[in-house]
Copies of this chain bind each other. A is one copy, B any other.
Amino acid sequence: MPPYVRLHIRLLPHTSHNFETQICEAIASEISGGNLPQGSRLPPVRVLAHQLGISKNTVQFAYDELAARGLVVPKNRQGVFVSETFMTARSEEKPKVQVPAPSLIPRPMPNSKMHSQDTILLSNVFVDPDLLPNEQLNECFRSVLKSTGLPSFYDTQGFYPLREWIAERLSQRGISATAEEVIITTGSQQALDIACRALQHKHIATENPAYHIGKILFEMNQMQLVGLPIHPFKGLDLSLWEKRLAQARPSLLYLTPNFQNPTGYSYSSQELRKIAEMAERYQFGILEDDWGADMLSFSEYRPSLRALCGDNVLYLNSFTKKLLPSLRVGYLVGNRQMVPSLVAAKRVATLGHPSLIEEALFEFLSRGYYDTHLQKLQTALDRRYHHCLQILEQVMPDEVAWTTPGGSPILWLELPPSIDLPSLIATMQSQRINITDTRSSFFGTPHLHGIKIGFAYNKEGALEHALQTLANTLKQELAR
């Protein structure tokens, strides 16, 4: 049986025309208007009767009338078809309407290049998946699917037990938070996004160089931006920060106290305290991105800004680097006054995160797998970090300097000013070593001249090869 066209007929009960006539006229007008191609099959009588909630007889009478007018032809056992004779005059293909394409913001994609398997991603900020607890997570997914099944709906704010676990965990680190204040997000990226979206005054300050996709997000969210320089070797020039903040008066300061991307810089407690004092003086809010905190050795701690300054600080974190990027689970912590606006911002953005992911993650966390995993992860990262420092020491020319973040997936390698970054990156790419160009992470002319080294993503052999190749290239350039 051929498919049939769907008809939209609105029956008006209180007119002089009965239903048969209304149906007949509606279909006749669709046909003569050219909206039903010749040979189209009308809905079966029972289907149209069902749709309109009327008797089959009424529809049959209307179809009979259409057939009598020669507009349709009933074919035995196959249905009723729009007459081919009638349509001949209109049968030439109508030119299609040319709707204009909506005009979009041209936007180059960061990190969008596809790399072959044997390319080393030297600046990659992720953790090597081989160090992540894929099997244990898999076990938790299967367990949830088996015991409680696939959840049908979702909580826009996030699966409540997961929020409780996070709040409890934060409390142990001296960060006041309740499950009602925690919002699960699609990675920390969405946490950043909804904080921006909910912000009343679209004026934000952040680090220079900034987290690159964050910077693009701010630009796309039409935020006014001010950059506060970070120098990973000298620390922060807080008097310059204060001058900028006093002048710009942003409504929010977004910062990453641990292992800032791309510099790998971590703020000292004293710097955090001074920044908090500036927030009070110049009345700006703080959005603290604490993604690096759980990348520390298990026994280390340092108070976060949220712990220092209370629940007025918006706090965000994620499981992307620590557990598995593909889960896309992050979280944002506000306070009771802020949460409704933030949840509303999340609702308009995505409505919610897939609940199976949230439930399986909760299973993983509540089984206590997280801490044992973090300890193992930290040991492995420490080994890679130390190995990276050793290699750098061995191979790099004297003119090259690097930071010693003591953890996290990246460190910053500062290069001599005579090195041309784009041509270095191209030379390395030709040797199947990819380096991220961080220059667009800066506001204006970069005050640093270097690259990110991702020692957590790369295995020791690959890292050694890449760093040796880089060192050779640099030496050649410097010898010119």
Contacts and interface: CB of A to CB of B under 8 A. Distances in A.
A431 interface: no
Contact of A302 (B5, B276, B355): B5
Given A199-B104, A233-B12, A324-B150, A186 B350 contact: yes
B189 A277 contact: no
B326 A105 contact: no
Interface centre among A12, A107, A286, A305, by most chain B C-beta atoms within 10 angstroms, is A107
A102 B251 contact: yes
Given A102-B252, A301-B6, A340-B109, A96 B309 contact: yes
A26 to B, nearest CB: 9
Interface string A129-142: 10010100110011
A455 to B, nearest CB: 12
Contacts of A109: 340, 343-344, 347
* Assembly stoichiometry (copies): 2
Given A141-B145, A152-B326, A341-B105, A280 B129 contact: no
Interface in A302-360: 302, 305, 308-310, 312-314, 324-328, 335, 337-338, 340-345, 347-357
A99 B10 contact: no
A348 B217 contact: yes
A285 B108 contact: no
A222 B277 CA distance: 33
Interface residues of A, number: 140
Given A187-B351, A269-B30, A356-B357, A97 B279 contact: yes
Interface string A1-43: 1011110101111000000000000000010010110000001
A404 interface: yes
A251 to B, nearest CB: 6
Contacts of A107: 198, 340-341, 344-345
Given A216-B348, A357-B357, A153 B325 contact: yes
A408 B132 CA distance: 44
Interface stretch (A48-56, A57-65, A417-425, A459-467): A48-56
Interface centre among A132, A195, A299, by most chain B C-beta atoms within 10 angstroms, is A299
A149 interface: yes
A213 interface: yes
A137 B354 CA distance: 14
B386 A50 contact: yes
Interface in A389-440: 389-390, 393, 401, 403-404, 406-407
Contacts of A104: 198-200, 338, 341-342
Given A52-B404, A222-B222, 17 more contacts: A3-B301, A5-B300, A6-B300, A10-B403, A10-B404, A50-B385, A50-B406, A97-B273, A99-B305, A101-B338, A106-B341, A109-B343, A134-B149, A187-B351, A217-B349, A327-B354, A328-B352
Shortest 4 CB-CB contacts between residues of A and residues of B: A102-B285, A51-B406, A129-B152, A53-B389
8 contacts: A96-B309, A100-B312, A104-B338, A106-B341, A141-B141, A193-B350, A326-B356, A354-B357
Interface of A: 1, 3-6, 8, 10-13, 30, 33, 35-36, 43, 47, 50-53, 96-110, 112, 126, 129, 132, 134, 137-138, 141-142, 145-146, 149-154, 156, 186-187, 189-190, 193, 195, 197-201, 213, 216-217, 220-222, 232-235, 251-252, 266-270, 273, 276-277, 279-280, 283-287, 296-297, 299-302, 305, 308-310, 312-314, 324-328, 335, 337-338, 340-345, 347-357, 382, 385-386, 389-390, 393, 401, 403-404, 406-407
